């Protein structure tokens, strides 16, 4: 599987590390608006070709997949453009700015027999998959709590009056989009689509710097906290009538998993690769190798559910992106 990348942020560094660790996967090209932005990564991972012309890169016949890790607002544009050139796509979370954009990508992928994946690490982590298996042991679920709080390296600039992409409605930023989305995936991946959703954000200059998403299910509620303006211990806890499970890390990594029943602790933590993206790259390569479009499109249905909840939460909180005014 030969891939090309769009973007030069830290997530691309992690993706390229994951590619390097997966056999039969190779990055052959990078696109960036300015070549110097990608040069260090290209040197680090032995990538020969850097393009400032996206069309020129997409016209290459040896590229199977394009990994889109641009600012959020550009996910839709770049993903569609890549597929229009016959490329399969791996798109970073959040998949798109809204459901309208997602539907266009979903339809195009199916009609043109292309793979389209959302790069969300939570769904592929070994400890998360173990939690899924063990969930029935907790009995009837009564409460779910998730907290992913991480003081942003760009928050001080935001406070000083600048508008970094991650805090810009024009670039579909904010805490819900950047980190609370992992809590949504964590919850929805375990319990499906909630009956109702509410979002209570802290809004500064039109964007949520933190917020609480409340997902209501039959018999229980999931409270999802995401903050880029403060720090906290990151964790998730699922409380059932027969026991409870604790994830002692961000919901993106699910680094430590413990279950408590009958007054006893059971540590179910599995060793995991330090590069969380390793597992998703491995899975996408497997599906591509086996030409398993059925599973790919099943994953798209799951991503659709998350997108619907994400957009409903965002709009409930009064957060409007520039992309919402298009179409």
Count CB-CB contacts under 10 A for residue 162: 11
Q: Which domain holds residue 182?
A: 123-272
Count CB-CB contacts under 10 A for residue 85: 15
Q: What is the pLDDT of residues 76-130, one digit of tens each?
A: 999 999 999 999 999 999 999 999 999 999 999 999 999 999 999 999 999 999 9
Q: What is the pLDDT of residues 193-230, one digit of tens each?
A: 999 999 999 999 999 999 999 999 999 999 999 999 99
Claim to verify: residue 267 and residue 284 sit in the same structural domain: no
Claim to verify: residue 34 and residue 108 sit in the same structural domain: yes
Claim to verify: residue 81 and residue 137 sit in the same structural domain: no
Q: Is residue 261 in a domain?
A: yes
User: What angle (nearest 5°) sits at the alpha carbon of residue 214, between those of residues 211 and 215?
Assistant: 140
Claim to verify: residue 73 and residue 24 sit in the same structural domain: yes
Q: What is the pLDDT of residues 42-64, one digit of tens each?
A: 999 999 999 999 999 999 999 99
Facing residues of 267 across strands?
Answer: 258
Of 327 and 323, more confident: 323
Claim to verify: residue 31 and residue 129 sit in the same structural domain: no
The domain total for the chain is: 2
Question: Residues, the chain, total?
Answer: 327
Residue 133: per-residue pLDDT: 98
Claim to verify: residue 103 and residue 34 sit in the same structural domain: yes
Count CB-CB contacts under 10 A for residue 304: 17
Do 246 and 237 touch, CB atoms closer than 8 A? Answer: yes
pTM of the model: 0.97
Question: DSSP letter string over 130-145?
Answer: HHHHHGGGG-SEEEEE
Q: CA 253 to CA 34: how far, in whole Å?
A: 32
Claim to verify: residue 44 and residue 156 sit in the same structural domain: no
Residue 280: per-residue pLDDT: 98
Claim to verify: residue 38 and residue 153 sit in the same structural domain: no
Q: Is residue 129 in a domain?
A: yes
| Contact residues for 236 (Cβ-Cβ < 8 A; gap 6+) | 144, 145, 146, 147, 183, 186, 246, 247, 251, 254
Residue 142's φ and ψ, nearest 5 degrees, are -120, -15
Distance of CA 17 to the CA centre of its chain: 17
Claim to verify: residue 51 and residue 68 sit in the same structural domain: yes
Q: CA 293 to CA 287: how far, in whole Å?
A: 7
Mean pLDDT of the chain: 97
Q: CA 287 to CA 295: how far, in whole Å?
A: 8
Structure tokens at 14: 């992690």
Count CB-CB contacts under 10 A for residue 8: 23
Q: Is residue 314 in a domain?
A: no
Claim to verify: residue 22 and residue 155 sit in the same structural domain: no
Q: CA 224 to CA 87: how far, in whole Å?
A: 35
Claim to verify: residue 150 and residue 248 sit in the same structural domain: yes
Residue 300 has pLDDT above 80, yes or no: yes
Claim to verify: residue 266 and residue 282 sit in the same structural domain: no
Residue 327 has pLDDT above 80, yes or no: no
Do 5 and 12 touch, CB atoms closer than 8 A? Answer: yes
Q: Residue 21: which of 322, 305, 279, 303 has the closest Cα?
A: 279
Residue 231's φ and ψ, nearest 5 degrees, are -115, 155
Beta sheet of 65-68, edge-to-edge order: 49-51, 26-31, 2-6, 65-68, 88-92, 116-119
| pLDDT classification of 163: cutoffs 50, 70, 90 | very high
Average pLDDT over residues 162-178: 98
Residue 326: per-residue pLDDT: 87
């Amino acid at each position: 599987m030969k891939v090309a990348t769009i973007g030069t942020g830290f997530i691309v560094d992690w993706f390229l590390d994951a590619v390097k660790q997966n056999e039969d996967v190779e990055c052959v090209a990078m696109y960036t608006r300015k070549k110097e932005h990608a040069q260090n990564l290209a040197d680090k991972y032995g990538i020969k070709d850097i393009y400032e012309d996206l069309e020129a890169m997409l016209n290459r016949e040896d590229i199977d997949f394009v990994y889109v890790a641009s600012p959020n607002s550009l996910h839709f544009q770049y993903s569609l453009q890549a597929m229009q050139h016959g490329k399969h796509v791996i798109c970073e979370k959040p998949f798109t700015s809204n459901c309208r954009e997602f539907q266009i990508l979903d339809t195009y992928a199916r009609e043109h027999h292309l793979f389209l994946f959302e790069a969300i690490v939570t769904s592929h982590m070994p400890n998360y998959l173990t939690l899924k298996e063990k969930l029935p042991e907790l009995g009837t679920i009564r409460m779910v709590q998730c907290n992913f709080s991480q003081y942003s390296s760009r928050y001080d600039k935001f406070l000083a009056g600048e508008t970094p992409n991650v805090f810009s409605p024009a670039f579909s930023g904010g805490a819900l989009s950047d980190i609370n989305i992992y809590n949504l995936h964590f919850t929805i991946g375990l319990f499906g689509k909630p009956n109702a959703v509410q979002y209570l954000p802290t809004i500064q200059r039109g964007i949520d710097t933190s917020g609480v998403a409340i997902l209501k299910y039959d018999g229980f509620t999931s409270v999802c906290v995401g903050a880029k303006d403060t720090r906290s211990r990151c964790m998730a806890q699922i409380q059932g009538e027969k026991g409870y499970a604790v994830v002692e890390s961000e919901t993106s990594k699910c680094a430590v998993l413990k279950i408590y029943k009958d007054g006893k602790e059971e540590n179910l933590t599995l060793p995991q690769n330090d590069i969380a993206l390793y597992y998703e790259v491995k899975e996408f390569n497997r599906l591509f190798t086996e030409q398993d479009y059925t599973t790919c499109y099943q994953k798209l249905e799951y991503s659709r559910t998350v997108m619907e909840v994400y957009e409903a939460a965002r709009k409930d909180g009064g957060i409007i992106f520039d992309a919402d005014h298009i179409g």
